[in-house]
Amino acid sequence: MNVTLWIIASLLAAAFLAAGLMKTAQSKEKLSASGMTWVDSFSPGMVKTIGALEGLGAVGLILPAVLDIATVFVPLAATGLAVTMLGAVVFHLRRGETKETAPSLVLLILAVVVAWGRFGPYAF
């Protein structure tokens, strides 16, 4: 199970790091033009904040465990990312964007699994 949690955390970290870097590096207009029309509902600063939180969450999933320093940050990061994805699921459902809800829901479930495992029976 430890290996499974590492794999899930690594995949989550890669996905959230990529998404976070994209949101922080590109303008709101460019993101909207690429199909991420949800950004039109947020200010540019909020989009950058969401991206920064996703990037920090990605780092928090891996770095504390690799360095074996303050490993409690791994399940805390997973919990924070789960809350972020819960917000994304609710946001997309309220806008009637069921297609956009699926990836957020999958990431939410995976983050909950990591949080459960690292807070619970498979803590470091």
* Interatomic CA distance for residues 95 and 122, integer angstroms: 37
Q: Residue 9 has what pLDDT?
A: 98
Residue 117: pLDDT band with limits 50, 70, 90: very high
pLDDT tens digits for 10-30? 999 999 999 999 999 999 999
pTM confidence score: 0.94
Q: Which residues contact 13 (CB under 8 A, 6 or more apart)?
A: 58, 59, 61, 62
* Interatomic CA distance for residues 107 and 58, integer angstroms: 12
* Interatomic CA distance for residues 94 and 122, integer angstroms: 36
* Interatomic CA distance for residues 124 and 119, integer angstroms: 9
Q: Which residues contact 92 (CB under 8 A, 6 or more apart)?
A: 38, 98, 100, 101, 104
Question: Average model confidence (pLDDT) for the chain?
Answer: 97
State the residue for tokens 């303050």. Answer: 70
Q: Which residues contact 38 (CB under 8 A, 6 or more apart)?
A: 91, 92, 95, 97, 100
Determine how many CB atoms are found less than 10 A away from the CB of residue 92. Answer: 19
Both tokens of residue 104?
A: 């957020």
pLDDT tens digits for 58-89? 999 999 999 999 999 999 999 999 999 999 99
